[in-house]
Amino acid sequence: MDTGVISTSLPITSFAAPPLRCVVDVDTSEAPPAEQFDLFQSWHADIVDVDLLSGEFSSFAARERAWQLGDLVLASVEYPGTGYHRRWSSKKHPVFDHWLLCVPQTIPPGGGRPRTGRLRWHCLAVPHQDESEDDGVLCLFLPRDFAFSQPLTLDIRPEMAAFVSDYILLLYHSLPDRTENDVAYIGAATASLLAACVSPSRNHIFEAQEPIDAVIMSRANKFISARLADRNLTPEKLCQELGISRSRLYRIFEPAGGISHYIRRQRLLKTRDVLGDSTDGRPISSIAEEWGFVDPSTYSRTFRREFGISPKEAREAGWLGIKHAPLSERQGDSVSSLSGLLANNYLGRQL
């Protein structure tokens, strides 16, 4: 669900457009292990100085990807499991004056979904130093005059900083489903959201309503996923968790058929996954009841209406190895560097 909520108002014709390209995709595997960190440093030589505060190191496995979103650049930098203490320092003679918003990510010891750190932000033209031991970071680069008139510092309140972090994560996870036609919409939505967070006003908040609703929907989805088996999961609980009114919750989930329909569909999808598991031979009625469907006949009718087949047919198909194909990740060619993208943006604003 996360990858779709940002597109509620995209034009219908967007499906015909070419997929959004990942214009930078580089990794350190092309260098010998002892030279991998040097290669990593070279990627950012015009943007920031990176130093290791650790002692000896045998390798530095890292991957960097970037997407051009009009005047924006979104970059994902991954160095999982390196465990090295790094220091990031601004250039003594800055080439760029972009705003940089960073969302650090750390992988839990047992693996799984990365944990998100607090949002960090600064202007590349201002002296700055930071240290980290995370496993990666999402970076959003914005031209300094982007959508709001500010000096060389941004005043983002803590609660708004958390909101911006969620939006950057949502934007990143939506990229495989975006097209080149979506770029203008993404820029406008991001501009409106950040303007509302940096200098809130009635006009800014009104203009930012769609991206704000997208973030709320993403948060609601995470809460629902974590408590899907709870039969007491209600719209009231969601409103309390999200801090919004019932009417707003219903309006946000209206494109999904309403909040109750959305929760029911997520539970049906869960039962379909379980039914397709050949190692789980429990009666269909027991599986349905586990996910809140207490009446077998009602469950069977609802399942057929949703998927076009009965639960029994879904089980048979799953046990025969017939699966629903996951969305494939689209990746573009590596045609540039991160500093090159920023330079293009910078020059584009000067012409």
Average pLDDT, the chain: 78
Q: What is the pLDDT of residue 70?
A: 82
Residues 170 and 260 in one domain: no
> What pairing do the DSSP bridges indicate for beta strands 63-69 and 24-27?
antiparallel
Q: Is residue 346 part of a domain?
A: no
pLDDT range class, residue 325, cuts 50, 70, 90: very low
> What pairing do the DSSP bridges indicate for beta strands 136-142 and 99-106?
antiparallel
Q: Is the pLDDT of residue 110 over 50?
A: yes
Give the separation between CA 26 and CA 14, rounded to whole angstroms.
Answer: 28
Residues 97 and 205 in one domain: yes
Domain that holds residue 69: 5-211
Q: What is the pLDDT of residue 150?
A: 55
pLDDT range class, residue 339, cuts 50, 70, 90: low
Q: Is residue 183 part of a domain?
A: yes
Q: Is residue 11 part of a domain?
A: yes
Residues 108 and 238 in one domain: no
Q: Is the pLDDT of residue 312 over 80?
A: yes
Q: Is residue 287 part of a domain?
A: yes
Q: Is the pLDDT of residue 65 over 90?
A: yes
User: Higher confidence at residue 140 or residue 11?
Assistant: 140
Q: Is residue 123 part of a domain?
A: yes
Residue 14, both tokens: 């967007």
Residues 133 and 251 in one domain: no
Residues 200 and 268 in one domain: no
Domain's final residue, options 161, 186, 211? 211
pLDDT range class, residue 210, cuts 50, 70, 90: low
For residue 69, report the phi and psi dihedrals to the nearest 5 degrees. Answer: -120, 65
Q: What is the pLDDT of residue 208?
A: 52
Give mean pLDDT, residues 300-305.
89
Give the number of domains in the chain: 2
Q: Is the pLDDT of residue 147 over 70?
A: no
CATH code of the domain in which 240 resides: 1.10.10.60
User: Higher confidence at residue 314 or residue 158?
Assistant: 314
pTM to 2 decimal places: 0.58
Residues 64 and 180 in one domain: yes
Specify whether the CB–CB gap between 97 and 161 falls below 8 A. Answer: no
Residue 287, both tokens: 């599986």
Residues 200 and 232 in one domain: no
Q: What is the pLDDT of residue 277?
A: 87
Residues 21 and 75 in one domain: yes
Residue indicated by tokens 């530095």 = 60
Residue 254, both tokens: 């209206």
* Lowest pLDDT segment from 26-35, 92-101, 194-203, 231-240: 194-203
Domain's final residue, options 211, 237, 271? 211
Q: Is the pLDDT of residue 238 over 70?
A: yes
Residues 72 and 99 in one domain: yes
Residues 124 and 236 in one domain: no
Q: Is residue 349 part of a domain?
A: no
Give mean pLDDT, residues 124-149.
81
Q: Is residue 241 part of a domain?
A: yes
Residues 52 and 162 in one domain: yes
Which helix or strand (DSSP H or E) is residue 26 part of?
strand 24-27
Q: Is residue 260 part of a domain?
A: yes
Residues 298 and 176 in one domain: no
